[in-house]
């Protein structure tokens, strides 16, 4: 029996009667901390903005919620400690490799990742494509620092651990859980800069709720994820250089020229409407495509698919489109696609698959 299971079991036995049967045992859940507001500290108990993120370590997060021991044997590890606006490809590779390593351990039933909310949706989607297990992986954050009155972190952490230990969450893909809702990694996005109900899956909907520690699912993602994907980062030390340019009135080519000059191998363009491109931008992107850079049209609009061959003849320019993926998630899929192929038709298939 691993040290982790012994520790968890010892804690559980200390906290109440417990029959050690495989079927009855509490699930073993590993909490991996990465920083963010859930680990944040403010100057006063009423400081809900203007605090410092990524200050409190994983052991203190666990100590602050003694109720965790009622739903799981928990152990914690601090993978890194950052405000999530600083998340990057290197952190993602480190986190993904560690998650896959821990999930291979037979005595681990699920993982919770505590994370800043700014880029939680991106980390969730990246892991949704590269985690090689059906075991639950639940990413959780908070909109108020741990030091605030009515901090939402403790209840969000309790709910996330309950979900990660639930059989209902097996095979659902990577999940994001705040504010009593369960969101799927592919469609979730942060919709408000400050409120606790900020995470939504607009128009496509959440997957379920967490009610008094019970995960209740009402929907499932229709797109492939986790152990069903073709992506494997276990042997990668870096990811292909892909950046996002944003479309608006008066759009010019300065950003995409800079990306090309920097050696990018892919560019996601967050166009207006159905991923529309101004005439100069379309001409320059077409040139860059002919030079071998992959171009994916996405949209700055929150909902609806970016559709092929609308005002842009994608068959002619050999661009791909992001379907309903936001620009920030399209970047992730294009990066991983470029670890497998440079064929636009194959990349477009991936956008319609994941
Ligand atoms: N600095 C932001 C981050 O770490 C704070 C937002 C939060 O975690 O809620 O994402």
Band of pLDDT at residue 13, cut at 50, 70 and 90: very low
- Cβ 84 under 6 angstroms from ligand 1: yes
Domains of the chain plus CATH, in order, are 26-228 (3.40.50.1170), 242-353 (3.40.50.40)
CA pair distance 225, 197, nearest whole angstrom: 25
Band of pLDDT at residue 14, cut at 50, 70 and 90: very low
CA pair distance 71, 326, nearest whole angstrom: 35
pLDDT digits over 72-106, tens only? 999 999 999 999 999 999 999 999 999 999 999 99
pLDDT for position 15: 42
pLDDT for position 350: 98
pLDDT digits over 197-238, tens only? 999 999 999 999 999 999 999 999 999 999 999 999 999 999
- Cβ 53 under 6 angstroms from ligand 1: yes
Ligand 1 atom nearest to 115, measured from its CA: 8
Band of pLDDT at residue 46, cut at 50, 70 and 90: confident
Those residues with Cβ within 8 angstroms of residue 13's Cβ, 6 or more apart along the chain or in another chain: none
pLDDT digits over 150-192, tens only? 999 999 999 999 999 999 999 999 999 999 999 999 999 999 9
CA pair distance 13, 8, nearest whole angstrom: 9
Average pLDDT over residues 229-250: 98
Residue 272 among the catalytic residues = no
Q: What pairing do the DSSP bridges indicate for beta strands 28-35 and 110-114?
A: parallel
């Amino acid at each position: 029996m691993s040290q982790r299971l012994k520790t968890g079991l010892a804690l559980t036995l200390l906290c109440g009667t417990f029959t050690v049967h495989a079927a009855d045992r509490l699930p073993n859940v590993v909490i991996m901390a990465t920083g963010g507001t859930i680990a944040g500290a403010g100057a006063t108990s009423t400081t809900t903005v203007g605090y410092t993120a990524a200050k409190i370590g994983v052991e203190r997060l666990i100590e602050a919620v003694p109720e965790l021991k009622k739903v799981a044997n928990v152990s914690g590890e601090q993978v890194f400690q950052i405000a999530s606006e600083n998340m990057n490809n290197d952190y993602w590779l480190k986190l993904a490799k560690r998650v896959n390593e821990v999930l291979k351990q037979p005595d681990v039933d699920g993982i919770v990742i505590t994370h800043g909310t700014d880029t939680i949706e991106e980390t969730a989607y990246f892991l949704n494509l590269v985690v090689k297990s059906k075991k639950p992986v639940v990413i959780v954050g908070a909109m108020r620092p741990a030091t605030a009155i009515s901090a939402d972190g403790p209840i969000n952490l309790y709910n996330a651990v309950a979900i990660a230990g639930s059989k209902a969450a097996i095979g659902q893909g990577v999940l994001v859980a705040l504010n009593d809702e369960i969101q799927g990694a592919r469609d979730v996005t942060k919709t408000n800069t400050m409120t606790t109900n900020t995470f939504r899956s607009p128009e496509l909907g959440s997957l379920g709720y967490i009610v008094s520690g019970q995960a209740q699912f009402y929907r499932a993602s229709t797109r492939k994820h986790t152990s069903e994907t073709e992506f494997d980062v276990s042997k990668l030390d870096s990811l292909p250089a892909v950046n996002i340019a944003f479309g608006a009135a008066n759009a010019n080519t300065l950003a995409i020229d800079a990306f090309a000059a920097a050696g990018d191998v892919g560019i996601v363009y967050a166009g207006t409407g159905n991923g529309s491109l101004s005439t100069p931008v379309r001409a320059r992107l077409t040139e860059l495509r002919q030079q071998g850079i992959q171009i994916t049209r996405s949209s700055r609009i929150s909902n609806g698919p970016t559709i092929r061959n609308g005002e842009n003849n994608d068959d002619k320019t050999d661009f791909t489109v992001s379907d309903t993926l936001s620009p920030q998630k399209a970047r992730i899929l294009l990066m991983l696609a470029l670890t497998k192929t440079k064929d636009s038709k194959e990349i477009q298939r991936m956008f319609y698959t994941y």
